[in-house]
């Protein structure tokens, strides 16, 4: 099917355009044009903004469901819920848990993808753990922490039918550098997280193949002028991406703006959302922990931040307001940069000719009016 979208504003890959038409051909973006041939099929979104679909590369759950529920229902419901928030691609994200629970969760994700997801589409599984260190455990259960085991990982990868695309670990654990080299050669993206690793240790991990840092500033050794830590390695190394949770709780707005200045297009906005997202205040489970969510902030009983309830589009709005940068540039921190962080930026993440036509229709207040996957509108606001 071929059609043109008419709108007031388009957030294209390298600029924002006013007016005009965007061509969609069989689920693929075509060229942007000021005029179109007579008789063309036009979908009229006058008064609206067309932006690329958002890509959440770190999300545990939402609307009462969690990936660690280990059910296909949970994966399907998360897929539907985030589509309404403008997310078209995501990485179902696990937590540190028992091997039995992780086996079940990986199986459920794989089966759900095989059945076909009704909303946002999975682009691979993100294993957050279990190869972490206790000093910055966050809401990860330390009784399951252990050193990386390539044989164990290969079992999980076989169970997932090759869908595990990303794994987070603490590089100071035994045998980690060898593990990083092996899984990187397998095409898996390694990210540093929940770690007390030194600056030098992180640099060695990056040389071995690690390419990302999970939720920058949170769950890692901090920045000190004589001891740069994991934060220093993340900010200094231009080869790496850094995730950031822009909910105003995890990172101060000015520090988020600083991270944007330093990392540029290698800053990746994420939610790290858990099942309390889109839910009322109350108690919820995150893995084996009870979490209390109040006014959008989720904490464990010991007071640690436990994921978030952030909507990715709100992270975009927050960082755009804090930094005063053009909307299309900040939007790409939640669409193009996430895709690039797992090597999929040639397919997704921006409105550019030849890429898959995932897009979001927004009003001027950036409220999602419709979301399209592969050029097909799958959600329309009542």
What are the residue numbers of the active site?
Answer: 272
What does the alpha-carbon distance between residue 163 and residue 280 come to, in Å, rounded to a whole number?
33
Cα separation, 279 vs 309, in Å, equals: 9
C-alpha 317: how far from chain center: 16
Q: Are 172 and 200 in contact (CB under 8 A)?
A: no
Q: In the structure encoding, which two tokens stand for residue 119, read together?
A: 């909303």
Rounded CA-CA distance 223/232 in Å is 5
Q: Which two tokens stand for residue 340?
A: 């690039």
Q: Are 126 and 94 in contact (CB under 8 A)?
A: yes
Spatial distance between the Cα atoms of 123 and 138, rounded to a whole number of angstroms: 26
Helix (H, G, I), strand (E, B) or coil at 266: helix
Residue environment code for 134-170, b if the CB has 16+ CB neighbours within 10 A, otherwise e: eebbbbbbeebbeebeeeebeebbebbeebbbbbbbb
3-state SS, residue 32: strand
DSSP state, residue 245: E
The CA distance from 50 to 263, in Å, is 26
Residue 71 has which token pair?
A: 């059910």
> Token digits for 221?
């050794």
Considering only CA atoms, which of 191, 183, 95, 177 is closest in space to residue 140? 95
**8 Å CB contact between 202 and 192:** yes
What are the φ and ψ backbone dihedral angles of 177, each rounded to 5 degrees?
Answer: -60, -40
67 neighbors 307 (Cβ within 8 angstroms): no
Q: How far apart are alpha carbons 167 and 153 in whole angstroms?
A: 10
């Amino acid at each position: 099917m071929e059609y043109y979208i008419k709108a007031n504003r388009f957030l294209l890959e390298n600029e924002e355009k006013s007016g005009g038409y965007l061509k969609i051909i069989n689920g693929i973006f075509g060229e942007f044009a000021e005029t179109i041939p007579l008789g063309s099929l036009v979908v009229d979104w006058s008064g609206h903004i067309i932006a690329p679909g958002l890509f959440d590369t770190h999300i545990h759950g939402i609307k009462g469901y969690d990936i660690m529920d280990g059910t296909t229902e949970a994966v399907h419901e998360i897929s539907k819920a985030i589509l309404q928030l403008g997310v078209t691609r995501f990485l179902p994200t696990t937590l540190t848990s028992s091997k039995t629970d992780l086996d079940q969760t990986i199986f459920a994700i794989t089966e759900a993808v095989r059945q076909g997801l009704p909303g946002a589409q999975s682009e691979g599984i993100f294993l957050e753990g279990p190869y972490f260190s206790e000093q910055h455990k966050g809401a990860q259960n330390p009784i399951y922490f252990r050193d990386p085991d390539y044989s164990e990982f290969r079992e999980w990868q076989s169970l997932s039918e090759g869908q595990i695309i990303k794994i987070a670990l603490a590089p100071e654990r035994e045998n980690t550098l060898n593990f990083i080299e092996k899984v990187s050669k397998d095409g898996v993206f390694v990210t540093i997280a929940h770690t007390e690793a030194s600056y030098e240790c992180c640099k060695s991990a990056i040389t071995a193949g690690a390419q990302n840092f999970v939720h920058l500033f949170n769950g890692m050794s901090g920045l000190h002028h004589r001891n740069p830590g994991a934060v220093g390695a993340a900010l200094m190394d231009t080869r790496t991406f850094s995730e950031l949770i822009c909910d105003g709780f995890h990172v101060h707005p000015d520090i988020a703006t600083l991270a944007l200045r330093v990392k540029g297009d290698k800053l990746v906005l994420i939610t790290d959302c858990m099942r309390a997202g889109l839910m009322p205040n109350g108690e919820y489970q995150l893995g084996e922990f009870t979490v209390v969510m109040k006014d959008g902030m989720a904490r464990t009983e010991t007071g640690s931040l436990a994921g978030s309830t952030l909507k990715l589009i709100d992270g975009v709005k927050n960082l755009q307001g804090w930094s005063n940068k053009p909307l299309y540039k900040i939007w790409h921190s939640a669409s193009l940069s996430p895709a690039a962080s797992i090597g999929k930026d040639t397919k997704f993440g921006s409105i550019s000719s030849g890429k898959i036509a995932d897009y979001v229709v927004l009003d001027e207040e950036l409220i999602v009016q419709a979301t399209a996957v592969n050029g097909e509108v799958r959600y329309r606001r009542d």
